[in-house]
Structure 1
Amino acid sequence: MHFELTVNTANIVENYATLTRSESLLPLVGDKAKLQHYAATTPIVDMVRFSPAQLDADALIGLLRPLTPRLYSIASSQAEVESEVHITVGVVRYDIEGRARAGGASSFLADRVEEEGEVRVFIEHNDNFRLPANPETPVIMIGPVPALRRSVPLCSSVRRTRHRVKTGCSSVTRTLPKISSIRLSGSAT
């Protein structure tokens, strides 16, 4: 099992403070606003570093939430790449109080998976989004450009049917240029 380490919560802070009897964290437990602010601005790793305590692995793991799957849109058309699945990932990078941070999954893919590395995946089918059955039916896509850029499979289909695409499909930005391929293992159904 894997656990969430990048996103702190008020519940985790409160449980850690109570378990460790941390003099710096216990006062936060009685002040909801300060507790929420601390959780929002202090990743779990910093909380443990700034308020160290003797905990065994089971006690620490007991505080953490299971890692939830990260969902990414498929950015390839099966008609064009057959058995491959391409994804477009916007790498999450941000600062918290002057310290550089990165998203757990996106930075893992961008910074730590080597070319030809293997990543476990699953495919979640979406029945709510599809092109009209008649390829002659005009389609207008309206939405934020980042969402349209993630619709590369749709763009591929649109290109094949000779429709003009005005935005979102001419280029895909914030992809992972250093990785030319990653072997994805998992169920494709």
Structure 2
Amino acid sequence: HNSSAVIHIREAENRAAADVFATAKELMLADFIEGSDPGICVAADQDIGTDLCLFGFSAKKTVVTQEQARSLARQAGIRLEGLGGTEDGVIGALAGIGLAASGNDGRFVQKGTTRSLHGSQTIAAILASGVDRVETRGGAAVSNGIVTLRKFPKPAFSGGKAILFVEADGDAYHDIVTG
């Protein structure tokens, strides 16, 4: 299993980034599974260029190396660290930043209060929790109704928005995980 998680920090001066990095690093070092290769990365919006997005998309389709990741991070002034094992996690950490910056990849494991929603929820409650839009896989907006959630909403990052995709299920809907 290989995945990355990205924390989006929206602030003009990125003061919280150093604190988030230190806290996340501490948690990761305390909890990583033996045999895994965790990595951590922090980048300010202004440091994330097209080359970083391209690196992320490339990492999804081809084999990229630690040296490529470290070199790109160094050139951009981005903080990147391997935290254990082979340190190959630096590849996924940097790729995750680039993919998230594209605004069209991945899904949110938490946005707003989405993790507090369980079971059947109204579309209004889902939108109020931090999801930007609810729509079908075909792109049709869904503005009314009830959605049965598998666990909690995991909206996809699409067009720079948190989109919860749903399928019709009788008179209601159920969420589908994409991204």
Question: For this structure pair, what is the TM-score category when the shorter chain's length is used for normalisation?
Answer: under 0.3
State TM-score, norm by structure 2.
Answer: 0.23
> Which gives a bigger RCO, structure 1 or 2 (Cα 8 Å, sep 6+)?
1
Bigger radius of gyration: 1
Which structure shows the bigger proportion of residues in strand conformation?
2
